Structure 1
Amino acid sequence: MANQLSKWLILLPACTLLSACLSTSPTQFYVLEPLSEPSSPSTSTEKKHQIGIGPVSIPTLLERKQIVTRLPDNSVKIAEFHQWASPLKDNIAQVLTHNLATLQPDDLIRAYPWSAYGTVDYRIVIDIIRFDTRPEQSVNFEANWSIMNEKNHTLLSNGHTKIEHPLNDSSYPSTVKALNQILSEFSQELSTVLGKLN
């Protein structure tokens, strides 16, 4: 009898662990998507400028697979089962590059590092300070950026961008969609500045 009781006591934690594993939700993976709306096709056979996007930096807090949200008490929530499908910094750079290629059809847009393609005329350096949400409150973006002339290493333009929108739906798909929209707006701002430089 004692032996049987011992066996059950040994098996009980294993059964509990197995039950917990079976009831755990599968991890969901997300990506940021570039603009899907086509811009006016370029009528020029030659590109006006070659523009490099990067490097792009993000806060250390966001350099992880899990999606991070800020809570009202200044703490953060790390979503173990809601993760980025690729490194967030790389995904942001890819989206910005694609967006600007769509918005600037007369220019050739390259993502950092672009050494394999030769040199660029302009370089856009982007330091992202905030790229997060407050559940059921807002989605937030803040960044410093500079546009450099790579030929003579002079500063052509620079700025500080801050974008905030209400966020009523705090589900992760809605959160990613809202972050995506903010990147689109930031891309539009950079495109406007580039248009003035051109």
Structure 2
Amino acid sequence: MKFLFFIAILLITACSSSIPTLNQYLLRSDRSSQFAVEKQTKVVGLGTVVVAPYIDGLGLVLETSAGEVRPARDHQWAEPLRDSLRAFIAQEMSTQAGQIIRSNNSGERDWQRRIDLRIDQLHGTANGEARLVAYWVVIDTDERTVISENGFSETKALSANGYSALVAAEKALLQALAIAMAATL
């Protein structure tokens, strides 16, 4: 009898607790992708995009203390960052530069300029900010020379608590990165 009572209590408490919901976030540009370029001075393509291994999973990452990070289990990117970053950065740069930045590797032989990008840090901090650290190289593919090597390191305060605010701040930082990258073309 005690056993049945214990099982009944266990079932009641198990049913009353809520199951965490999985929240997934898409990284997409808000800019229009409908434009045409009649004459392009240099064909530019986004080459290698490398993402630091600690942010290459699906979970959004928070730095809990200096040097210690934790990926979220219930708040995730809908796609791997290395894929969505390529399309996002190319779209944002295209709008900023007024020319198409190719994001796929097809037609790479036609490129006169290639941009290789490395994202070293992209996470939320313990003090309510988002941090982005990135490096990129602009290469003249005809001459096979490096035109410029560049770095970007910024933080942005979250507008509110929560992962949605973290996603918005990270997106704003990535837009600022794309603007800086476009300026080096």
TM > 0.5: yes
**TM (normalized to structure 2)?**
0.85
* Corresponding letter in the other structure for 2:26: V
Instruction: Report the Cα offset of residue 123 of structure 1.
Output: 0.6
Alignment of 1:3-22 (within 5 A): 5=3, 8=4, 15=11, 19=15
Q: Secondary structure at the match of 1:52?
A: strand
Instruction: Report the Cα offset of residue 135 of structure 1.
Output: 4.0
* Distance in 1 between residues matched to 2:50 and 2:128, nearest whole Å: 25
Alignment of 1:33-112 (within 5 A): 33-36=28-31, 45-72=38-65, 74-105=67-98, 107-112=99-104
How many residues in Structure 1 have an aligned counterpart in Structure 2? 185
Do the aligned partners of 1:58 and 1:127 also contact (CA within 8 Å) in 2?
yes
Does residue 32 (structure 1) correspond to residue 27 (structure 2)? The answer is yes
* Distance in 1 between residues matched to 2:6 and 2:163, nearest whole Å: 39
Instruction: Report the Cα offset of residue 161 of structure 1.
Output: 1.1
Instruction: Report the Cα offset of residue 117 of structure 1.
Output: 6.5
* Distance in 2 between residues matched to 1:154 and 1:101, nearest whole Å: 23
**TM (normalized to structure 1)?**
0.80
* Distance in 1 between residues matched to 2:121 and 2:46, nearest whole Å: 19
Distance 1:64 1:14, change over 3 A: farther
Instruction: Report the Cα offset of residue 168 of structure 1.
Output: 5.2
Q: Structure 1: 5+ residue runs without aligned partners?
A: none
Bigger Rg over Cα = 1
Deviations 1:29-63 (A, max 9, x none): 1012214379xx77x62222211113111111111
Instruction: Report the Cα offset of residue 104 of structure 1.
Output: 2.0
Find runs of 4+ consecutive structure 1 residues off by over 6 angstroms. none
Q: Secondary structure at the match of 2:166?
A: helix
Do the aligned partners of 1:57 and 1:127 also contact (CA within 8 Å) in 2?
yes
* Distance in 2 between residues matched to 1:64 and 1:157, nearest whole Å: 30
Do the aligned partners of 2:56 and 2:82 also contact (CA within 8 Å) in 1?
yes
Distance 1:52 1:17, change over 3 A: farther
**RMSD of aligned Cα (Å):** 2.9
Q: Structure 2: 5+ residue runs without aligned partners?
A: none
* Corresponding letter in the other structure for 1:119: D
* Distance in 2 between residues matched to 1:137 and 1:85, nearest whole Å: 23
